[in-house]
Every structure is written in structure tokens, then in C-alpha cells.
Structure 1
Amino acid sequence: MTGNGGPNRQGGRLAGKVAIVTGGAQGQGAAICRHFVAEGARVVVADIADDAGKLLADELGEAAVFVHHDVSDEESWQACVATATEAFGPVTTLVNNAGILAFADLTTMPLEDFERIFSINVRGCFLGMKTVAPVMAANGGGSIMNTSSVEGLAGMATLVAYTGTKFAIRGMTKAAAMELGPKGIRVNSVHPGMIDTGMTRGYAGDAGMEWGASRVPLKRVGVPEDLAPMYVFLASDESSFSTGAEFVADGGCTATHAFGG
């Protein structure tokens, strides 16, 4: 893989793919963008983090463009897809990766905070699928990857809202896979465990990350580079018979009682 201006080989596993990666400017999203470009894809880095997004697009060179994108806004989705089409051609690949996290007790969490998490995590995923599906269907199909979580497989105290969104993404993925399969569009969910990103460390702190590492069989938290190859596989034709499925990368935490057990 290379990070200095484009794919490392013309015949990469994602050659000919045009991808939108939401939340693509930093953390897990940035790793996905780098891996996609290294495998021959052209990528729209979609995020509200303008400075980080522009820096990443510059790093990736002609194979990437940055778009300021609010996933909760339908017009922003339409503009993002239009930009991708103008820059690279019809979208073949969507990674609904953007999301936010907030810890709060069920009985004290403000309603506006609950609704904000759903607006970004769930509404953003829905609008992404809604907007790209007609484009993919008109051009022979595609692959959609929705980032859920291990909290989309099991619950955790103080994460009622976040867990609710990740279960919703898991369910929407299966329903969309049924609906879009006949159109050649595959839809899968990805379920990361605790991943060492700025967002996660900002909430958990060093002590929380150490606690997370202690809870999994591999005895470490993940890093974005642990997740990106899974997205490459799902974006590629290698996963052509996989849809409506759950792909887990969690260090083994869901092999027993997850983080909240």
C-alpha cells in the first residue's frame, strides 16, 4: 500500500471501482480510503472535517477528492453523489462509516442527544443507501457497506442510544440486501470492536482503552488498519456472493459476553 499519490498498481483488487466513504477524513474512514486507493479505486472522502479531509485527499492524489458532506442531509447526499460521478464516474461502492458515540445513563440522557445520534448514525445510513442505490442499479450493481458495531450484536450499559443505532443499521442492512439483491447490489454490515481512533480514545481515555484490551481474547484493542482490509474484501468482486451478512472484527470480544458482560 502507498499513501503518496495513488494506487500502487493498475490492476488492484478494486480497479475500476468508484467509492464514497463517509467519515472518511480521519480514523477508520481514512484507513479505508487509503486501502481503497492502494487497491486501485477512486475515492470520495466525504466528511464535515474539512481540513483533515483536504489533507487526506491531497495525500492520495488524483485518485481522491474531498467533499464536505453532512450525512444527515438529503441534499448533501445528492451533491456528494453528483460530485463523485463528475469526478470519477458512477458510484459502485458506498461505505456508510460516519457515526458518533456518546455515553450516558438511560434515565438522564437528554432527548436531543438521543435524537442527534440517530440523525447521524441511522438517518445518514438510510439516506446513503437511498441515494446511491438508483445509480448502482442503473450501472450494473455495486456494494454497500454499513458500519455497525459489536454494539449492534449485543448491548452495553450507558450506550442505549448508540446501541440502538447500531442494531438499526444491522437490521436495515438485511432489509436492504433483500430489496436490492435483484438489482445486483450487495449490502453488508461491518461490526468493529473497540478501535483506537481519536473519537474512541477521546471518550474512553487511556484507562478505558486498557480496560477494553483486557476484555478480549487477543488482549489488545484494534487499530483502523485492522478493519480496512475487510472493507476492501467487501468492496471487491471477491465477496460477490456475500450480502445481508455481518462481518465482525472485534478481537474476539463477542465470542463470550462482549464489553458489557
Structure 2
Amino acid sequence: MTDRVAVVTGAGRGIGLATAKRFLAEGWRVALLDIDLDTLTRTVGDLGGETLALHCDVADAAEVRAAIGRAAAHFGRLDALVNNAGTAVFKPMLETTPEEWARVMAVNLTGPFLTVQAAAPLMAETGGGAVVNVTSISGLRASTLRVAYGTSKAALAHLTKQQAVELAGLGIRVNAVAPGPVDTAMAKAVHTPEIRADYHDAIPLNRYGLESELAEVIYFLCSEASSYITGQVLAVDGGFEASGIGLPTLRNARRNL
């Protein structure tokens, strides 16, 4: 595996960084792509292993082609692509501006379209590879304040299936993970104690996920261990998407038995 190469977008922090570290731990060479140059530079400087920093806006087609091409030229091949870069606007639907809607769609949906379009021919040159798109539980379950974000992630789930069907003939597998609440820096900053309590009540495992847990699943879907899996959207959410109503009441009742 030591000759394998992965590109991870949104890799300056959070799930993207945890995923890059997971690949590096297995001896992969990793190109870390992010729009935040300062954070990306610090991150790559702190990592061991063979890495490459790629400053890029995934919504810009020319930048994407250049960045993906640079990664392949630098390392000599491309085996995995993780589309983790994303953005969100948490506002009521009637207050979300067309500009905000367009930017969320450009990053969360058009970005993975552009990166896969650039990466697939390069993967095919060495026999194929794997793509993992990071969607969200918000693409599977509607909630307030997420009209742009949730819709973009739902569309990304379908794009994953389109990519899987069309690229299978090139030896490229495409899957997605849909994280539930994860203890990222963003979640810690914006989730009040009340919101965290609500999530705990709704999640059968009764906790937030860890960035490292998402990275494990993403790595699995890029590895040979998942060689017969493509076109799937896997919720990594502690059971959140599967659960219905009444969970806190039932949990308390069980304790009283």
C-alpha cells in the first residue's frame, strides 16, 4: 500500500484532517486540499509522512483541475479521492439569500462533481481507485435552518450513485458517508448545551461521533477491504437516522425495569 496516493479535500481541520492522518498511518501518500491557506500550511507542517499542500477552492473548475493534476504529477498516480470540503448556512428558508444558496451548492455539490471529473481519468491510468463523498445526515433527514445545506447533501448522495454507475467500468468505486453529529470544532462552537442534549436524546448510542470514527469508515471505503462496495451511502451517526420518536422515554423506562 505504500505507493498509494489519496487526495483529501477540506483537509486543513476536522474530519478531513483526521482522514488524512488515517491514510498516512497506513503508509499512503496524501495531498491535502483546502481553501484556507494559513490553516493548510500549518497542518501540513505538523504532519509526518509524504504530504502535499494544495490551496484550492473546490467550486472553481480551473483551480480544481490544476490542483488534482498537480497531485498526480507530484506523486505519479492517484488512487483515492475524499470529497470532504463543505460549507453551510444555518438560516430559515425565507431568509436564505440566493447568493448563500448558490455558494452552498457550489461547494457541497458542484465541488465533488468537479473533483471527480478531474480525478477519474488519472485514477483510470493505473487501474482505477475509490472516491468517498462526505454527505450528511441532514441530506437524509430534514431539519430547520438547513434548507441549502440539507438539499446540497441530499443531492450529493444521488451524485454519488450516478458517479458509481458511470465510473465502474473504469475500475473506480464511489461511495458516501453521511455523518451524524460529530464532535468537530464547529459543533463545539455552535451547538449549545440544549442542542447537544437534544441530539443525545435522539441518538440511540447517546453521544456525538468522533472525527477519528468517520476517518475509519472513509479509509475502509477507499481500501481493498471494500472492493465489492460501490454506490452506497453509509450513515455514520450512532443510529440517529434509524430512530423514531420516544427514545428518551423508552430509555428511562428501561432503566426503571
The two structures have a TM-score, normalised by structure 2, of 0.91
CA contact (8 A) 1:22 1:96 kept: yes
What corresponds to 1:162 in structure 2? 149
What corresponds to 1:10 in structure 2? none
The alpha-carbon deviation at position 206 of structure 1 amounts to 4.2
What corresponds to 2:196 in structure 1? 209
1:96-117 Cα distance to aligned partner (Å, 9 max, x none): 0000122111122111111111
Runs of 4+ in 1 over 4 A off after TM superposition: none
**Matched residues, number:** 245
Instruction: For residue 25 of structure 1, give the secondary structure of its aligned residue in structure 2.
Output: coil
CA distance in 1, matches of 2:241, 2:172: 28
Larger Rg: 2
Aligned partner of 2:47: which letter? Answer: L
What corresponds to 1:25 in structure 2? 12
CA contact (8 A) 1:201 1:209 kept: no
Instruction: For residue 72 of structure 1, give the secondary structure of its aligned residue in structure 2.
Output: coil
The one of 55, 61, 68 aligned to 1:81: 68
What corresponds to 1:119 in structure 2? 106
What corresponds to 2:124 in structure 1? 137
1:188-232 Cα distance to aligned partner (Å, 9 max, x none): 011100111122333324442333223201111112011111011
What corresponds to 1:253 in structure 2? 240
CA contact (8 A) 2:91 2:145 kept: yes
Q: What stretches of structure 1 of length at least 5 have no aligned partner?
A: 1-13
The one of 69, 84, 102 aligned to 2:89: 102
Instruction: For residue 46 of structure 1, give the secondary structure of its aligned residue in structure 2.
Output: strand
The one of 57, 80, 91 aligned to 1:93: 80
CA distance in 1, matches of 2:116, 2:20: 19
Aligned partner of 1:176: which letter? Answer: Q
What corresponds to 1:148 in structure 2? 135
Instruction: For residue 20 of structure 1, give the secondary structure of its aligned residue in structure 2.
Output: strand
CA distance in 2, matches of 1:140, 1:15: 16
Aligned partner of 1:196: which letter? Answer: D
What corresponds to 2:226 in structure 1? 239
What corresponds to 2:250 in structure 1? none
The two structures have a TM-score, normalised by structure 1, of 0.89
Q: What stretches of structure 2 of length at least 5 have no aligned partner?
A: 246-257
What corresponds to 2:254 in structure 1? none
What corresponds to 1:46 in structure 2? 33
1:44-95 Cα distance to aligned partner (Å, 9 max, x none): 1100122221222122234111111110011111121122123212211000
1:148-186 Cα distance to aligned partner (Å, 9 max, x none): 111122211221111110111100000111100011000
How much identity, in percent, do the aligned residues show? 36
1:22-64 Cα distance to aligned partner (Å, 9 max, x none): 0001011110000110011110110012222122212223411
CA distance in 1, matches of 2:30, 2:193: 33
